[in-house]
Amino acid sequence: MATIKQIAEMAKVSLATVSRVLNNDPTLSVTDETRERVFEVADRLGYRKKTARPAARPTVRSIAFLYWLTEREELHDVYFKSIRLGIEQQAKQQQIELHCYTIEDGIDALGEDIQGFIAVGRFSTAELERLRRLTPHGVFVDTVPDQDHYDAVRPDLRWITRKGIDFFMERGHRRIGFVGGIDLHPDTKERVSDVREETFRECMSRAGLLDEELIFTGRQFAVEDGYRLTMSAIERLGERMPTALFVASDPIAVGCLQALNEKGIAIPARVSLMSINNISIAKYVSPPLTTFHIDVDELCKNAVGLLLERIVEERRLVKTVYLNAELVIRKSAI
């Protein structure tokens, strides 16, 4: 009797791939050619397990990719560029016909015939209402703006912030500061509290260690904001500088490091520093940055998978998926 090993050798794929193809694993990402080759070899060898091909998946076309960030915002934080590239790659692998729209195009550029959408960025109430009129199938990446109607997948920033503070406290830090940016409400343009700052305040308050003079927020999540805020903190606080800084994103942290280095403040001996994202430059700054690694590939894979569940499998229940992150310890924190 034919074995999976024989099929794998003849089809020139791994044992795991053969097993998942023959079991019609919907999460397996292989080309149709590879899938057909496995079935053909199994048939030729007389493999006894049921090898009936799954019903052809309906074509997923006219999917709008709403990339609601400006070029300047993408330039400030390569995290969003990596999400854009990741979504495009996942769509290609799943043979999804993706049509990209930017904030400059505007929401009215979307056609009435879209099957669904994947969205990155912040959307106004009017824009969300327009999307609801067009399609019930949509996934937001990195935000959760319409949990009643649409799926979403994002890093669990509350969990990440709590873990970061725990890391510092376990190492004896009590005077811990926060450096971050602000979000603006897409309708009113008023300041919206960032979830990382909210969680930082909650954790430090609960520990009886919250000190308002150690919270620094800028206009954006950019390198220059981190530099400016840290220089201001050094000048204002002097010897009262915190012994540790939890920073909302890597670009801000790069600016923080520049300021601390310029002022001759030892890192991490005098000030330990930790951030979020693990962008490519994080391991090359001085000192290399301790940061939480957000798995952007997994983020994008979940986004595309959620959309396929809604369109192909006709799932009606709305899902919100939060992903944890891995702390990458480098030399900026002790």
Using pLDDT thresholds of 50, 70 and 90, give the confidence band for residue 189: confident
Mean pLDDT of 214-228: 93
161 shares a domain with 34: no
250 shares a domain with 172: yes
Q: What CATH number did the domain enclosing 67 receive?
A: 3.40.50.2300
The whole-number pLDDT of residue 51 equals 44
Residue 127 inside a domain? The answer is yes
217 shares a domain with 88: no
Closest among 47, 43, 174, 65 to 109, alpha carbons compared: 65
Dump strand ranges (E) for 103-181.
Answer: 116-121, 138-141, 151-155, 176-180
Query: Around 12, how many Cα atoms within 13 Å sit in the side-chain half-sphere?
Result: 3
The whole-number pLDDT of residue 1 equals 61
% residues pLDDT > 90 (the chain): 71
248 shares a domain with 165: yes
Mention every residue, 6+ apart, whose C-beta is less than 8 A from residue 76. Answer: 220, 221, 222, 223, 251
**Is the predicted pLDDT of residue 190 greater than 90, yes or no?**
no
**Is the predicted pLDDT of residue 115 greater than 60, yes or no?**
yes
Compare 9 and 291 and report the one with higher pLDDT: 291
196 shares a domain with 252: yes
Full residue range of the structural domain in which residue 9 is found: 4-45
Compare 93 and 27 and report the one with higher pLDDT: 93
The whole-number pLDDT of residue 26 equals 64
The whole-number pLDDT of residue 58 equals 56
Residue 51 inside a domain? The answer is no
**Is the predicted pLDDT of residue 71 greater than 80, yes or no?**
no
Give first-to-last CA distance, the chain, whole Å: 59
Using pLDDT thresholds of 50, 70 and 90, give the confidence band for residue 49: low
Mean pLDDT over each residue of the chain, to the nearest integer: 91
Handedness of CA 275, 324, 283, 91 (dihedral sign): negative
Residue 266 inside a domain? The answer is yes
The whole-number pLDDT of residue 328 equals 98
173 shares a domain with 127: no
CA dist., res. 182 & res. 126, Å (int) = 22
User: Which tens digit of pLDDT belongs to each residue from 121-152?
Assistant: 999 999 999 999 999 999 999 999 999 999 99
User: Which tens digit of pLDDT belongs to each residue from 14-44?
Assistant: 888 888 888 777 667 778 788 888 888 888 8
Residue 55 inside a domain? The answer is no
**Is the predicted pLDDT of residue 59 greater than 80, yes or no?**
no
**Is the predicted pLDDT of residue 314 greater than 60, yes or no?**
yes
How many structural domains comprise the chain?
Answer: 3
**Is the predicted pLDDT of residue 235 greater than 80, yes or no?**
yes
280 shares a domain with 182: yes
User: Which tens digit of pLDDT belongs to each residue from 279-290?
Assistant: 999 999 999 999
Whether residue 110 contacts residue 101, with contact meaning beta carbons closer than 8 Å, is answered with yes
Residue 274 in 3-state DSSP?
Answer: strand
The whole-number pLDDT of residue 54 equals 52
130 shares a domain with 162: no
User: Which tens digit of pLDDT belongs to each residue from 165-176?
Assistant: 999 999 999 999
% residues pLDDT > 70 (the chain): 96
302 shares a domain with 287: no
Residue 9 inside a domain? The answer is yes
Compare 182 and 226 and report the one with higher pLDDT: 226
